[in-house]
Structure 1
Amino acid sequence: MKKIVTIGEILVEIMSTERGNGFIGPVSLVGPFPSGAPAIFIDQAARFGQSCGMVGCVGADDFGRLNLERLKQDGVDISGIAIDPEYATGSAFVRYREDGSRDFVFNIKHSAAGLTALTDAARALIEGSDHLHVMGTSLFSPKMVDCVLEGIRLIKSKGGSVSFDPNVRAEMLDLPGLRQALETIFLQCDLFLPSGRELYLFAKATTEREAIAEILKSGVRAIVIKNGSEGATYHDCATTVRQRAFDVEEVDPTGAGDCFGATFVSCWLRGMAPADALRYAVASGARAVEKQGPMEGASSLAELDSFIANASAGSRS
C-alpha cells in the first residue's frame, strides 16, 4: 500500500454554540476539538485504512497532546510532528452566522504550527512515503511554502505523486508570493481537487469545460471538483464521472472537504475505478457533516460501505 504524507498546521478548534456575527461579546463555547485542514485530511486517510503520516508542530500543552493522541490512535505516523517547548499549539475560534458562513479567529502563524520544519525525522517520513498531499491553508508563511516545495521535490525525486487542494481563504490570496507559490505547486501536481470556482484559479478559460481541458493539457492527470450539496465530478483525459450528494442532516460542515479529499486520494492510490472512488469520497464528506467537530465524522471503509448501502436502499424504497 502506498503511503501518504501531508505537511501543515495542527490546531484545536473551539466553536460557539450560538449562531451570530463574530466574537465581539461573550458567547458559549464548545471544544477543544483536534483540527487543522491537513490534520483532518490525514486522520481521515488513516481511518480509511491508508498508510499515512504528517509533518507539523504542536506545543508541549494539552492542545498538542489532544491532537497527537487522536492522530496516533487513528493510525497516523506522527514521527514527523515536532513538539515545541515554548510556543502554544495553534487554535481557531469559530462562529457560524445565520446564513451558514463562518467567522474565524486564528492563531496559526505565531503558534507552534508556524514553526513547522523539515527536521531529520520529517525528511525521513517524506522519503519513506509515496504521495504528498498539499493544502492551500498550509501556505500561510514563506517558511511553510519552502517546506511544502521541498517536500514536493523529495517526493517527485523518488517517482512519487502529488495531490493539491487549493482550499485558500480569500484573505490569504494577498499574502506576498502566495499566488506564485500556488502556481508552482499546481504545475507539479498529479491530482487537482478544487472546490467550485477554485477550478479557475489556474485556468484562463471562462467555461468549466474549457477550464478542465486546459488543466488536463497542463500535465495534471485528474481533476476532482467538489461542489458541496451538489455532489462532485471527476475528469481525466478519457473519463468524466458525476456523483450526486447524499441526503444527510448537516450538523457541522467543517472538515467535510478534507475528509472527501483524503478518501478520494486513498482510493486513487489504490487504483480504484473513478466512479467507486468518487462515491466513497462523497459519502465520506456526507458522514463528516453529521458530527460536531472537524475530525469527529471521519469514517472507516466499513462505515462508508454501510452508509452507501443504506443510502442506496433508501433511494430504491
Structure 2
Amino acid sequence: MKKVYCIGETLIDFIPLQKNKALKEVGGFEKAAGGAPMNAAIAVAKYGGQSVMLTKMANDHFGDFLMDVMCANGVDVSHIVRTDEGETGLAFVSVDKDGERSFTFYRKNAADLLLEPEEVAGVQFQEGDFLHFCSVDLVESPIKQTHLNVIEAIRKANGTVCFDLNVRIPLWPDEASCRETILDFVPLADLIKVSSEELEFVTAIPDENKAIQSLLCGHVKAVVYTKGGDGAAIYLKEGQVFKDPGFKVTVEDTTGAGDAFIGGLLSELLSLEAKPDSLIQTLQTHHEQLLTFSNASGALAASVKGAIEAAPGREKVMKFIEAQRPAAGHFK
C-alpha cells in the first residue's frame, strides 16, 4: 500500500477550559496533542491509510506523550529522530464564541526545527506515495532545507506533493517573510490547500478567483479552497471548478478541523491511487467523493474539542454522510 508522509511540527496544544475569553483571562487549560502535519498523519491513519511522520522530537515528557499518541493512532514513527538539543513546542489556544481560535506559541527552541536533511536521507519513497507539509516549519532552520530535499526525493519517485499553507503569522519574524517563503514553496507542490482567511494574505490579491488562479503555478495542478462552514471547492489548472456546500454542525472548537479535512482528502486520493500525472483526472472524476468526505471530516472535527480527538474514524464519517446526504453516501 502507498503511504502519506507528513513532515513538520509536533507540539502540545493547551486548550482553554473556558470559551469566550481572551487568552490572558483563561483560568485553566487541557493538554492535547497537536501540530498540523501530525494531525493530518493521524487522520489518514484513522481513515484506513498508511501514514508516516517525518520530524525530530525532544527527549522530554511531552515528546514521549506525542509519540504515544501517534503510536496509539497507527502512525508510522520509525523515521522520527529524538534529540536532547531542543524542546517540545507549546501552543496556547483561546477559543471565541464561534469556536474560532487564536494562538500564543512557545517554540523558538522546538526540536522539529532541528531536523537535518541527512536524518531523513534513508527514507525510500515509492511511486504513488504522497508528501504533505505546512508552512510553520518553513522558517529559517535546518528543517526548511530538509523540506526541499524530501520534496525533490518524492518527486523523483513519482509521488505527489501536497502543501497546506496553514498560515501562523506569530511564528514568523514579520508578515513579509511569511508570505515570501510560502510563495517560494507553492510552485513545488502538486496540490495546494488554502483557506478563505489565508488567501488574500498570501497572494495580496483581493479578487478571490484571481488570487486562486495565481496559486496555479509551477507544478501546481489544483487548489483546494476551504471556506469553513460554507464548504470547499477544487480549482483545476485546466480551469474547471468543483464546489461542495459542506455540512452544518454546532461548532465546539475548530482546532484540527482543517487537518481532518486534508487528512480525509489525502486518504481518499491514496485509495484512488492518484499520482502526479493522473491527479487532474482523479479530481475531475471523483470530485464529489473527495469533497464530500473531506468536508464531512472537517465538520465532525469542528464539532468536538481538540485536534486528535477531532479526527473521527472512517466508519463515523461515512455514517455522518449517509445521515446528512443519503444520495452521496454511495462510495466506500
Map of 1:14 onto structure 2: 14
1:263-278 → structure 2 map (5 Å cutoff): 263-271=264-272, 273-278=286-291
Asked if the contact 1:91–1:106 (Cα under 8 Å) also holds between the matched residues in 2, the reply is yes
Q: How far apart in 1 are the matches of 2:79 and 2:99?
A: 35
Matches within 5 A, 1:192-271: 192-200=192-200, 203=203, 206-216=206-216, 218-236=218-236, 237=238, 239-271=240-272
Shift of 1:202: 6.1
Q: Deviations over 1:99-147 (max 9, x none)?
A: 6543433222313233233454x33335358221110122233322212
- Cα distance in 2 for residues equivalent to 1:58 and 1:282: 31
Please identify, of 272-281 and 235-244, the stretch whose mean Cα deviation from structure 2 is larger: 235-244
In structure 2, relative to structure 1, the CA distance for the partners of 1:126 and 1:63 (3 Å cut) is farther
Quickly say closer, same or farther: Cα 1:209–1:111, change in 2 above 3 A. closer
Q: CA RMSD in A?
A: 2.6
1:72-83 correspondence to structure 2 within 5 Å: 72-83=71-82
Which structure 2 residues correspond to residues 283-302 of structure 1 after superposition, within 5 A? 283-302=296-315
Specify the code of the residue in structure 2 equivalent to 1:144.
I
Alignment of 1:297-308 (within 5 A): 297-308=310-321
Cα gap change, 1:258 to 1:280, in 2 (>3 Å): same
Cα 1:201–1:92 change in 2 (3 A) is: closer
Unaligned runs of 5+ in 1: none
The one-letter amino acid paired with 2:301 is A
The number of residues matched between the two structures is 312
1:156-175 to 2 correspondence within 5 Å? 156-171=155-170, 172=172, 174=174
Q: Report the Cα distance in structure 1 between the residues aligned to 2:136 and 2:248, rounded to whole angstroms.
A: 28
- The sequence identity of aligned pairs, in percent, is 28
CA shift, 1:219, in A, is 4.0
Please tell me whether the aligned partners of residues 126 and 154 of structure 2 are also in contact (alpha carbons under 8 angstroms): no
Indicate if the aligned counterparts of 1:126 and 1:151 stay in contact, CA closer than 8 A.
no
Amino acid at match of 2:244: Q
The reply on whether 1:127 has 2:125 as its aligned counterpart is: yes
Q: Which residue of 1 aligns with 2:38?
A: 39
Match of 2:88 in 1: 89
Is it true that 1:184 corresponds to 2:177 in the alignment? no
1:201 and 1:269 map into 2 onto residues whose CA distance is: 30
Tell me, yes or no, if the aligned pair for 2:190 and 2:219 is still in contact at 8 Å.
yes
Q: Distance in 2 between matches of 1:278 and 1:183?
A: 25
- What secondary structure sits across from 1:127 in the alignment? coil
Contact 1:5/1:126 (<8 A) preserved: no
Partner of 1:51: 50
CA deviation map 1:241-286 (0-9, x unaligned)? 2111212121111010011011112222333611101100000001
Secondary structure of the corresponding residue to residue 23 of structure 2: coil
Relative to structure 1, the CA distance from residue 253 to residue 202 in structure 2 (aligned partners, 3 Å threshold; closer, same or farther) is: closer
Whether the aligned pair in 2 keeps the contact of 1:58 and 1:89 (CA below 8 Å) is yes
Unaligned runs of 5+ in 2: 273-281
Q: 1:310 to 1:99 in 2, by over 3 A?
A: closer
Q: Please list the CA deviations of residues 180-205 of structure 1 after superposition, one character each: whole Å capped at 9, or x if unmatched.
A: 43222111111111101533466576
Is the alpha carbon distance of 1:166 and 1:303 closer, same or farther for their aligned partners in structure 2, counting shifts above 3 Å?
A: same
Q: Report the Cα offset of residue 176 of structure 1.
A: 7.8
Deviation at 1:168, TM superposition (A): 1.1
Change in 2 beyond 3 A, CA 1:153/1:220? same
Name the CA distance, whole Å, in 2 between partners of 1:257 and 1:33.
16
TM-score, structure 2 normalization: 0.84
Verify the 8 A CA contact 2:6 2:41 in the aligned structure 1. Answer: yes
Distance 2:246 2:234 in 1: 14
Aligned partner of 1:46: which letter? A
Question: Structure 1 residues 141, 252: CA separation in 2 closer, same or farther (over 3 Å shift)?
Answer: same
Q: Give the Cα–Cα distance (whole angstroms) in 2 for the partners of residues 247 and 89 of structure 1.
A: 35
Question: CA, structure 1 residues 88+196, in 2 after alignment: closer, same or farther (shift >3 Å)?
Answer: same
Q: Distance in 2 between matches of 1:204 and 1:126?
A: 38
Change (3 A) 1:60 1:306: same
Deviating beyond 6 angstroms after TM superposition, the runs of 4 or more aligned structure 1 residues are none
